[in-house]
């Protein structure tokens, strides 16, 4: 996926109603999530960008696969860490439900419904595997921002605000062959 294609997809999500919050689009949700991460982690552009794109996988398949599908879509453009964070935000929810007794009680109604489809609490093996992931700590941060990013009518920076950061992340990802050509066709898509 090229940067123009990603921007077009994100913009189109402005007309996708959020599955769970009236008056909130899927784009609003991503923008709020990125904004939350920018406040908490102002120096981590990849984490902020991961927050912006974390739910694009909903456009490409069922809920239980949306993390992996979203990761697949952005890996070529935004690199392995952003992709890893996008993929890990789903097990991060399962991790929090498993590790933090009060977390499950605070989940939104829709998040509680999808938890079952996503696998519920982690088994001991899954827990160990998640905790050993290089993305675990930051994926939990993403997940907490995800939970906070469901406020109808909240004013946050628009998609245009994030374009320079998306360009920076795309140019600086390991393996970027043509640092200036972030919009060029990507062989991985």
Distance separating alpha carbons of residues 142 and 131, to the nearest angstrom: 15
Residue with Cβ nearer Fe ion (36 or 55): 55
Residue with Cβ nearer Fe ion (46 or 146): 146
Stretch that binds Fe ion, among 58-66, 70-78, 146-154, 180-188 (CB under 5 A): 146-154
Residue 87 interacts with Fe ion (CB under 5 A)? Answer: no
Query: To the nearest whole angstrom, how small is the minimum distance from the Cβ of residue 132 to Fe ion?
Result: 24
Residue 146 interacts with Fe ion (CB under 5 A)? Answer: yes
Residue with Cβ nearer Fe ion (92 or 169): 92
Find, among 79, 81, 83, 82, the residue nearest to 69 by Cα: 83
Stretch that binds Fe ion, among 17-25, 36-44, 52-60, 164-172 (CB under 5 A): 52-60
Query: To the nearest whole angstrom, how small is the minimum distance from the Cβ of residue 29 to Fe ion?
Result: 6
In this chain, which of 46, 55, 72, 87 binds Fe ion, going by CB under 5 A? Answer: 55
Torsion 59-109-32-89 (CA) sign: negative
Burial class (CB in 10 A: 0-12, 13-18, 19+), 21: middle
Distant-in-sequence, close-in-space partners of 105: CB < 8 Å, separation ≥ 6: none
Contact (Cβ atoms closer than 8 angstroms) between residue 169 and residue 45? yes
Quote the distance between the C-alpha of residue 123 and its chain's center: 23
For residue 17, the 8-state DSSP code is B
Query: To the nearest whole angstrom, how small is the minimum distance from the Cβ of residue 148 to Fe ion?
Result: 10
Residue with Cβ nearer Fe ion (109 or 187): 109
Residue with Cβ nearer Fe ion (50 or 182): 50
List residues near Fe ion by CB under 5 A.
55, 146
């Amino acid at each position: 996926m090229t940067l123009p294609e990603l921007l077009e997809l994100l913009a189109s999500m402005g007309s996708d109603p959020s599955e769970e919050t009236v008056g909130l689009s899927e784009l609003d949700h991503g923008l709020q999530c990125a904004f939350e991460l920018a406040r908490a982690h102002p120096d981590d552009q990849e984490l902020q960008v991961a927050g912006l794109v974390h739910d694009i996988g909903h456009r490409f398949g069922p809920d239980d696969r949306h993390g992996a599908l979203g990761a697949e879509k952005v890996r070529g453009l935004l690199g392995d860490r952003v992709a890893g964070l996008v993929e890990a935000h789903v097990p991060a929810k399962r991790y929090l439900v498993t590790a933090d007794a009060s977390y499950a009680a605070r989940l939104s109604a829709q998040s509680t419904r999808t938890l079952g489809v996503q696998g519920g609490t982690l088994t001991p093996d899954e827990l160990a595997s998640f905790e050993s992931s290089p993305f675990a700590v930051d994926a939990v941060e993403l997940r907490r921002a995800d939970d906070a990013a469901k406020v109808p009518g909240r004013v946050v920076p628009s998609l245009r605000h994030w374009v320079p950061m998306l360009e920076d992340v795309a140019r600086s990802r390991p393996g970027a062959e043509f640092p200036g050509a972030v919009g060029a066709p990507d062989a991985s898509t």
